[in-house]
């Protein structure tokens, strides 16, 4: 799981070796800027770049830019480990395509939200994912795209990153998915 302990809560954005290795498997290289921002760019020539920036002491922002277009906000998170789980899912499509594995159809309806999580309505253009009776952990823009990001993320939060990676390398998505639906995690649950 990634932490910012080495750099401090206000220092450069740091992702774990697990997450950076997964990005490299998807042909994305990480480069840190002098201001602490992190850029993930394709080494395979794809025009997509992702940027991770600290937006205050308790918030990180993930944006996307294609070619020379302006950056588009994708996700705000409260903790690095939330961002890392999202990135594992984001890069999974490229990795599965490289391995000729079928695309996984991840449900993204609000009704498919993982136990222990709640979604807000759209407020000022963003929908928020929070732990039930807890703090918000992520927010995403757009009524539809926010569901595409936050509903799967709610399930990713129940799994350690190695299990998520194993799921995305499995033809049917096990253990994350069972018979095409999100599988409940047995044993100890993640936060």
Query: What digits encode the pLDDT tens for the residues 81-115?
Result: 999 999 999 999 999 999 999 999 999 999 999 99
Q: 139 in a domain, yes or no? A: yes
Please give the tally of structural domains in the chain: 1
Strand order across the 60-66 sheet: 28-32, 38-42, 48-54, 60-66, 72-77, 136-141, 126-131, 117-119
Q: Which domain holds residue 155?
A: 17-171
User: What's the pLDDT tens digit per position in 122-178?
Assistant: 999 999 999 998 999 999 999 999 999 999 999 999 999 999 999 999 999 999 999
181 domain-assigned: no
Domain membership of residue 191 (yes or no) is: no
Domain for residue 43, yes or no?
Answer: yes
Q: Is 186 within a domain?
A: no
Cα–Cα distance measured from residue 146 to residue 119, given in angstroms and rounded to the nearest whole number:
10
190 falls within a domain: no
Q: Is residue 136 part of a domain?
A: yes
- Would residue 106 count as lying in a domain? yes
Q: Which contacts (CB < 8 Å, 24+ apart) does range 180-187 have? A: 180/105, 181/107, 182/106, 182/107, 182/112, 182/114, 182/155, 184/115, 185/158, 185/159
């Amino acid at each position: 799981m990634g932490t910012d302990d080495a750099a401090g809560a206000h220092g450069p954005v740091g992702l774990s070796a697990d997450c950076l290795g997964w990005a490299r498997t998807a042909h994305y290289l990480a480069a840190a800027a002098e201001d602490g921002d992190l850029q993930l760019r394709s080494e395979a020539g794809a025009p997509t770049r992702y940027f991770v920036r600290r937006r205050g002491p308790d918030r990180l922002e993930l944006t996307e830019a294609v070619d020379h277009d302006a950056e588009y906000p994708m996700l705000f998170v409260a903790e690095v480990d939330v961002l890392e789980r999202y990135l594992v899912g984001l890069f999974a499509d490229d990795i599965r395509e490289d391995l000729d594995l079928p695309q996984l159809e991840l449900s993204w309806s609000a009704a498919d939200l993982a136990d222990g999580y709640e979604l807000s309505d759209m407020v000022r253009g963003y929908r928020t994912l929070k732990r039930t009776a807890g703090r918000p952990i992520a927010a995403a823009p757009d009524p539809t795209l926010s569901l595409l990001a936050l509903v799967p993320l709610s399930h990713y939060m129940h799994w350690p990153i190695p299990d998520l990676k194993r799921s995305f390398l499995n033809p049917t998505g096990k253990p994350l998915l069972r018979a095409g639906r999100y599988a409940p995690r047995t044993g100890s649950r993640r936060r």
